[in-house]
Amino acid sequence: MGKLPFVRFCVSVWGHWEARFGTTFAVILSLGQYIYLATGDPAKIPGWVKTFPPYLWLAIAGVLLFWSCFAAWRDQDKQREKLQSRLATPDIRIEIAMVSWGSRDKFFATFAALSASNPHGPSTGLSHWKAELELADSTKLIGEIPFSTPEDIRIPLNPDNTMILPKNKEIGRQSSSPIPTGGIVDGWIMSVFRTLPATFNPAGTRIIFSCRDVVTGKDHSKSHSIDRTGEFTLPGVGVIKTGL
């Protein structure tokens, strides 16, 4: 169970040094002055000690305590503004379920299953999808993404298997419509790197997918290592045996 509101308020106020210092300062000085006046020799007590009443220190502590209350409120107000700002803009998150690789038109190509979600914030669509291949030496190559294909893409894997990428599951097509708050879309994305031959070995490379939120214009990205695999799953397709 969480703390009661008043307890949370006291903890927040006490967390500021003004409250701790002011309370300690007032108690020590007020108590010390009271004892000094009550037990000390009046002839030897300095005039300023007699002039300043003990409650003056309590007043100073009250000012510091008031400032701590304001500081505690200010902290909560900043958190509220931060939360409002967060809820006012889409929170796009990209997740990559799988990345496989092969060839397309005699060039090196990657095939990935990924999703884009919008946990909170207003609805938004995604555009400007890009794919970059980061080589082992940190060189980055831009891939060509064949979006809006008129037909399903069929990729022969071996004499017995053909991989089908349904046109209606392209991530670019899927995410072009607004993704509502709490919504998620998934699909596939293919990228062809025409500067690399089909025989390119991607060992030690990473693929980086990025897109742009159409509401804020902010770019979002996610990277994934490319591993040689003999089996993977595509949304709407199922488990595929690559024969690699």
Fold entry, domain 93-241? Immunoglobulin-like (2.60.40)
Is residue 68 a contact partner of residue 22, using CB atoms and an 8 Å limit?
yes
Strand partners, 210: 130, 221
Rounded CA-CA distance 28/11 in Å is 22
Separation of first and last alpha carbons in the chain: 54
pLDDT of residue 185: 92
Rounded CA-CA distance 167/175 in Å is 13
Is residue 136 a contact partner of residue 204, using CB atoms and an 8 Å limit?
yes
pLDDT of residue 238: 47
pLDDT of residue 162: 72
Q: Based on the number of CB atoms within 10 Å of its own CB, is 162 exposed (0-12), middle (13-18) or buried (19 or more)?
A: exposed
Q: How far apart, in Å, are the Cα atoms of 176 and each of 125, 130, 142, 143, 206?
A: 5, 14, 21, 20, 25
Placement of tokens 């020590």 in the chain: 28
The full set of domain ranges for the chain reads 5-88, 93-241
Q: pLDDT tens, 186-235? A: 988 989 999 999 888 888 899 999 999 998 889 999 999 886 544 444 44
pLDDT of residue 148: 64
Low-confidence residues of the chain, pLDDT below 50? 1, 229-244
Neighbour-count burial for 71-108, b at 16+ CB within 10 Å, e otherwise: bbeeeeeeeeeeeeeeeeebbbebebebbbbbebeebb
pLDDT of residue 141: 94
The shares of helix, strand and coil residues in the chain, as percent rounded to the nearest 5, are 35, 35, 30
pLDDT of residue 223: 93
Rounded CA-CA distance 124/172 in Å is 13
pTM for the structure as a whole: 0.60
Smallest CA-to-CA distance from 170 within 101, 234, 84, 100 is with 234
